[in-house]
């Protein structure tokens, strides 16, 4: 067992930092943020993960960034910098999308929310906040559109799991049954008027994300009220550990792993969110070429056949032991109770049912290419 | 959780309990707590030689992989097969859920390890 890693210099904290510490959370440095990784008092990562799959869990995701684009040319600006077709969004609707470099690789993946007629909110990743903000500013300068970095204005709380809707409904006058997945509304939440409530998340489950003022007092009060209201459902606080295993089971990409500035949209298999028939956008030309040329690697799901857990960065080998790719994310999957991974391999070696090896501490351990997502939530009956 | 006085400890958070030339090895309660939910263990086979200070296997939690370091040299005489299917036993009772048993090459090696009180102090200072 190695010694515990040393703590680091200056890290950023969310408004709920003291709440996490009081709950006894294990904290880690995540992209410069002091974040909870798990709550041993709630049973740890596996218990947190399974609570979200079967009931409800709450996450502090205030480290996520927020960029608002508003004004006459807001739609044109969003269209120019993102790959999905924002013109299809009704007011109150959201879509998964991405910001691309001209070479078709990822600046970041984002959720675009249409707040009003010419008013869009882009929710971006914590680790890419500063880069994204300056990139958005640079690439929208020629549009008549205001760009605001609202990243520090919100405490963002995710309420995730099949019981999330019942939990949040107790605390708001908004009719949540009328809000479909990837739609949003505004309502009073715990007495806070005009709160943005989005039916979105990063867990593969139904759930909501609410955006409230980022002062410590309000944030703490709302977190605690959600927690208390959720007791009848067995709500648990959830950290980044379960957030990662949940999103992995659902094959939701993580920046720096499945997507990055060197991986393009087609390789990542995200072309269904990339609308080539919309007006021109950054990265489009490169993707057109890439599509004609074909990709040399593709993201596949692996399930370990032999004993072993594939981890990020491990090499993928063919049966003869030749290196053919690498693992982007891998873990024990707490709900599926299997060892799963995502990996880049050449398309011809990544067909479903084929077997590969993952190099784990010098040994080739067999894995099978399986359909993804590994987990899909059951349809409501 | 109390650290049994009958055990000796490493700074890498293994425990060892010797009875003459035979000894039992596990990881400490502090180690399991630091790791979180343990989901995988990889252990040597019976008959394998392990060497003091060298890795003899690994334990993995959902988040992390951790090497196991031999507290003493010897030959593996038994492996706790139960941990293959139920690695979470280590989380529940780290000082009961042993990993391997060995025949010690030199029981004197244990004199270099930490007694319970010193280990407890070491852990307290590490945090």
Residues A366-380: pLDDT tens digits? 999 999 999 999 987
**Model confidence band, residue B79 (pLDDT cutoffs 50, 70, 90):** very high
How much is the pLDDT for A3? 45
Residue from A312, A297, A342, A370 nearest A105 by CA:
A297
Interchain pair A334, B62: CB under 8 A: yes
How much is the pLDDT for B126? 77
How much is the pLDDT for B2? 87
Q: Which residues of A touch B10 (CB under 8 A)?
A: 1
Interchain pair A309, B39: CB under 8 A: yes
Q: Long-range contacts: B13-16, Cβ < 8 Å, 24+?
A: B13/A1, B14/A1, B14/B68, B14/B69, B14/B70, B14/B71, B15/B71, B15/B95, B16/B71, B16/B72, B16/B110, B16/B113
Task: Spell out, as residue ranges, where chain A has pLDDT lower than 70.
Answer: 1-9, 381
Q: Within its chain, how far is the Cα of A13 from the centroid?
A: 19
Interchain pair B127, A3: CB under 8 A: no
Residue from A353, A355, A372 nearest A364 by CA:
A355
- Decide if B53 touches A, using CB distance below 8 A: no
CA distances from residue A283 to A113, A118, A123, A156, A172 in whole angstroms, order as listed: 21, 24, 20, 30, 41
DSSP string, A58-118: EEE-TTSEEEEEESTTHHHHHHHHBSS-GGGPPTTBEEEEEEE-TTSBEEEEEEEEEEETT
Q: Chain B closest CA to A306's CA: distance in Å?
A: 12
- Decide if A332 touches B, using CB distance below 8 A: yes
Spatial neighbors of A225 by CB under 8 A, at least 6 apart, are: A171, A190
Interchain pair B40, A46: CB under 8 A: no
How much is the pLDDT for A5? 46
How much is the pLDDT for A181? 97
pTM for the whole structure: 0.95
**Dist. CA A221–CA B30, nearest whole Å:** 33
Interchain pair A3, B37: CB under 8 A: no
Residues A143-169: pLDDT tens digits? 999 999 999 999 999 999 999 999 999
Report the side by side order of strands in the sheet with A146-149: A94-100, A106-116, A119-124, A65-70, A146-149
Q: Which two tokens stand for residue A14?
A: 């969310």
Residues B87-116: pLDDT tens digits? 999 999 999 999 999 999 999 999 999 999
Report the side by side order of strands in the sheet with B22-27: B8-9, B14-19, B22-27, B100-104, B74-79, B49-50
- Decide if B54 touches A, using CB distance below 8 A: no
Q: Chain B closest CA to A27's CA: distance in Å?
A: 11
Q: Which two tokens stand for residue A271?
A: 């072309």
ipTM for the complex shown: 0.91
**Dist. CA A42–CA A38, nearest whole Å:** 8
- Give me the helix-helix angle, A74-81 and A129-140, nearest 10°: 120
CA distances from residue A178 to A165, A166, A199, B74 in whole angstroms, order as listed: 11, 13, 11, 67
Instruction: Detail the DSSP E strand segments found in A164-231.
Output: 184-189, 192-198, 207-213
Which residue carries 């059951």 as its tokens?
Answer: A378
How much is the pLDDT for A6? 46
Q: How many CB atoms lie within 10 A of CB A369?
A: 19
Nearest to B37 among A1, A3, A44 (CB): A44
Q: Are A87 and A79 in contact (CB under 8 A)?
A: yes
Nearest to A46 among B11, B12, B62 (CB): B62
Instruction: Detail the DSSP E strand segments found in A231-362.
Output: 236-238, 298-304, 315-317, 323-333, 338-345, 355-360
Q: Which residues of A touch B60 (CB under 8 A)?
A: 309, 332
Report the side by side order of strands in the sheet with B55-61: B38-42, B55-61, B65-69
Q: Which residues of A touch B27 (CB under 8 A)?
A: 1
How much is the pLDDT for A9? 56
Q: What are phi and psi of B57, to 5 degrees?
A: 165, -165
């Amino acid at each position: 067992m190695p010694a515990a890693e040393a703590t680091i210099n200056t890290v950023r904290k969310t408004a709920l930092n003291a709440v996490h510490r009081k709950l006894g959370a294990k904290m880690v440095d995540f992209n410069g943020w002091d974040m909870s990784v798990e709550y041993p008092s709630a049973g740890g990562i596996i218990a947190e993960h399974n609570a979200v799959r079967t009931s409800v869990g709450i996450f502090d995701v205030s480290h996520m960034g927020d960029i608002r684009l508003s004004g006459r040319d807001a739609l044109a600006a969003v269209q120019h910098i993102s790959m999905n077709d924002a013109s299809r969004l009704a007011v109150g609707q959201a879509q998964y999308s991405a910001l691309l470099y001209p070479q078709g690789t990822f600046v970041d993946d984002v959720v675009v929310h249409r707040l009003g007629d010419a008013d869009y909110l882009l929710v971006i990743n914590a680790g890419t906040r500063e880069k994204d903000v300056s990139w958005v500013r640079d690439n929208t300068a020629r549009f008549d559109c205001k760009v605001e970095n609202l990243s520090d204005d919100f405490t963002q709380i995710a309420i995730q799991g099949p019981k999330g809707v019942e939990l949040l409904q107790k605390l708001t006058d908004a009719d949540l049954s009328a809000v479909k997945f990837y739609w949003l509304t505004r309502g009073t939440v715990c007495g806070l008027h005009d709160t943005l409530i989005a039916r979105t998340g990063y867990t593969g489950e139904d759930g909501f994300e609410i955006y409230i003022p980022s002062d410590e007092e309000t944030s703490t009060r709302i977190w605690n009220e959600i927690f208390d209201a959720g007791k009848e459902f067995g709500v648990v606080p959830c950290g980044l550990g379960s957030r990662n295993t949940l999103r992995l089971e659902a094959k939701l990409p993580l920046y720096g792993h499945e997507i990055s500035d060197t991986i393009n949209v087609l390789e990542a298999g995200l072309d269904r969110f990339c609308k080539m028939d919309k007006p021109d956008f950054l990265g489009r030309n490169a993707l057109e070429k890439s599509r004609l040329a074909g990709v040399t690697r593709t993201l596949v799901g692996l399930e370990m056949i032999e004993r072993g857990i594939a981890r990020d960065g491990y090499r993928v080998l063919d049966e003869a032991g030749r290196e053919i790719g690498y693992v982007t994310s891998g873990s024990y999957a707490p709900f599926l109770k299997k060892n799963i991974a995502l990996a880049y391999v050449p398309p011809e070696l990544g067909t479903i049912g084929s077997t590969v090896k993952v190099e784990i501490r010098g040994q080739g351990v067999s894995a099978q290419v399986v359909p993804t997502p590994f987990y899909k939530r059951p349809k409501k009956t | 959780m109390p650290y049994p006085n009958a055990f000796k400890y490493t700074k890498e958070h293994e425990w060892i309990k010797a009875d003459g030339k035979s000894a039992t090895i596990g990881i400490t309660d502090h180690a399991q707590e630091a790791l979180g939910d343990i989901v995988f263990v990889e252990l040597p086979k019976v008959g394998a030689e392990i060497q003091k200070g060298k890795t003899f296997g690994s334990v993995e939690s959902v988040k992390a992989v951790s090497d196991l370091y031999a507290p003493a040299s010897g030959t593996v005489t038994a492996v706790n097969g139960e941990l293959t299917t139920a690695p979470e036993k280590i989380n529940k009772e780290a000082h009961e859920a042993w990993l391997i048993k060995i025949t010690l090459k030199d029981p004197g090696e244990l004199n270099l390890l930490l007694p319970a009180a010193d280990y407890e102090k070491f852990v307290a200072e590490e945090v």
